[in-house]
Amino acid sequence: MSMETYSHPDEPVRHSYPLAIENASLGTALGLLRKTLPYALVRFGILFAFSVGTVIWFAITFGGAALLSKLHEFLGGGWMIGGIGLYGWFFWTVIRYFLYMIKAGHIAVITELVTTGSIDNGETGMFEYGKGVVKERFAEVNVLFGLDLLIKGVVKSFNRTLEGIANFLPIPGVDQLAKVVGAILHAMTTFIDETLFSYNLARGDDNPWRSGRDGLIYYAQNAKEILKTSLWIVVLEKVLVVIAWIVCMAPAALFAYFMPGNESGTLWMMFIAALFAWNIKAAFLHPLFLIMIMIKFHVSVKGQVIDEVWDARLSAASNKFVTIKDNVKKWASEKFDSKPKDSAEDQAEDLPALDS
């Protein structure tokens, strides 16, 4: 499943991929979420099953700790530490990576819809297309899985250097609203690594470090527009998560009825409702917010000349950006070195030198 290359790393405009969307409105984001709803449903199913397993696992962990503590307090403490540690390991090393692969396929499908308006010209199914892109570009996908921490670090450093942020927000006395500003900047940081993965796919660049570097510069150039979208995300998230939590109270009360260690079940009910609301947020709201940032980015950078001044600014603001730049050359060098050497001259280079 080949992807066309619209990457021009040496040109003022670093890309030339088409766009099938005209604006970055909430309606456009909702439409894209609806078209890719099967991915959200699969993600929700996995998260829901994991959450049910979490409730059962925690019941066994805390219940077992309570029983073993009657024999010896060290036994109960060891059981609890072991149970929580094993749970954390399983989530961070297995479930998280598996969900990332699903999310990568989802982003690939969304990117295809954003750029062409259809999935492989209607010739390929949604899941087949997403799987094909992830499989074909597995090396880049894995790099981007690790690159997300570097990108978040660069974005956080950049956000701390934003000056005149009050001019971006039409809120009187914004200096007294540090928490609100922090939440908006956090929303910007949360989705930018996934947005740059979409940018890498749309651009068709075979060097994820290079498209990540250019994407961060484009992000800095368009921070004002992305900031406005992030404000909407913060408002929507607060409202929709509360609604989801209230809706989840009823099924949570049923689960809480069978849980040990709490006569009224109130604490269990609140915990389970919060867990299920988190599932809804992760499966449906997170993709919606991601799409909002993603389409705002794509629309903003269309035909835009890159401002290399931001290269120096970001390098000064974050050593993680310097690391990304270093890996641009390293990736290109490793790909060159890994190419088969067919000619006699190339093969001769690998022969040991002979002493005269």
Rg (Cα) of the chain, in Å, rounded? 24
Between 343 and 276, name the one with better pLDDT.
276
The pLDDT-based confidence of 179 (bands split at 50, 70, 90) is low
Whether the predicted pLDDT of 91 surpasses 80 = no
pTM exceeds 0.75: yes
For residue 24, give both structure tokens. Answer: 């970055």
- The neighbour count for residue 238, using CB atoms within 10 Å, is 11
Quote the percentage of the chain above a pLDDT of 70.
Answer: 82
* pLDDT in the model for residue 77: 77
Closest CA to 220 of 318, 128, 142: 318
Whether the predicted pLDDT of 115 surpasses 90 = yes
Mean pLDDT of 220-246: 90
**Which of 1-15, 96-110, 201-215, 245-259 is modeled with the greatest confidence?**
201-215
For residue 93, give both structure tokens. Answer: 């090393």
Across the chain, mean pLDDT equals 80
User: Are 79 and 68 a contacting pair, CB within 8 Å?
Assistant: yes
* 7 beta partners: 15
Whether the predicted pLDDT of 206 surpasses 90 = no
* pLDDT in the model for residue 178: 58
Angle of helix 286-301 versus helix 26-35 axis, rounded to 10: 120
